[in-house]
């Protein structure tokens, strides 16, 4: 069962995760995690699988089969070049007006999971992801390329920037989420 749990977490995270973090968060030994990783490698790293396990530098991640890289790249290029969906525009707007902002904060504002939307915005190069040592998780901001595409030289040139950056209702919503998180820890 631990193997399925590790696989599900790696799939949901969609980024490299440290073996030590998996061990700590799942409350099992690193050896148990290593066994699960080895089982996943045996299951996934075969020619007929579209998903492979990448294990590098003490971190693991689910990735597409390298043999299928060209097909995946074509698909992602088409996906990334199409028009933005309404949820993508909403998420991009939240990042623009409230960034740097974490994924959980975006999800509190939108009320839904935003993992795939953020991934798509990252692929398109519209947003940047940076580790925030204070919040202990990634934060998202508009990319310089996207700012240039909008013709902006400063974020405060966005329409009604001051109104939205200091919106009391959004600030209260985010403070409530932060307080809730603090109580859980």
Position 28 in a domain = yes
Position 131 in a domain = yes
Are both 125 and 155 inside the same structural domain? Answer: yes
Give the residue numbers spanning the domain of 38.
Answer: 2-66
Report CA Rg, the chain. Answer: 19
3-state secondary structure (DSSP) of residue 51? strand
pLDDT of residue 90: 92
Are both 45 and 116 inside the same structural domain? Answer: no
41-84: pLDDT as tens digits: 999 999 999 999 998 888 899 988 888 888 887 776 666 667 78
Report how many domains make up the chain: 2
pLDDT of residue 81: 64
Low-confidence ranges of the chain (pLDDT < 70): 76-81, 173-174, 176-185
How many CB atoms are closer than 10 A to CB 56? 8
Q: Note the pTM of the prediction, 2 decimals.
A: 0.54
């Amino acid at each position: 069962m631990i193997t399925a749990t590790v696989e599900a977490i790696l799939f949901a995270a969609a980024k490299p995760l440290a073996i030590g973090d998996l061990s700590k968060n799942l409350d099992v030994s690193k050896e148990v995690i290593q066994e699960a990783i080895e089982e996943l490698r045996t299951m996934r790293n075969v020619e007929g699988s579209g998903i492979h396990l990448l294990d590098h530098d003490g971190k693991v991640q689910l990735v597409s089969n390298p043999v299928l890289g060209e097909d995946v790249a074509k698909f992602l290029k088409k996906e990334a070049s199409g028009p933005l969906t309404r949820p993508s525009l909403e998420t991009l707007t939240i990042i623009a007006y409230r960034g740097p902002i974490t994924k959980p904060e975006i999800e509190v504002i939108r009320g839904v999971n935003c993992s795939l939307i953020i991934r798509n915005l990252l692929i398109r190069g519209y947003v940047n992801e940076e580790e925030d040592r204070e919040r202990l998780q990634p934060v998202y901001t508009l990319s310089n390329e996207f700012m240039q595409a909008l013709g902006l030289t400063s974020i405060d040139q966005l329409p009604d920037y001051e109104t939205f950056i200091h919106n009391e209702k959004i600030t209260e919503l985010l403070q409530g989420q932060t307080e809730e998180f603090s109580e859980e820890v």
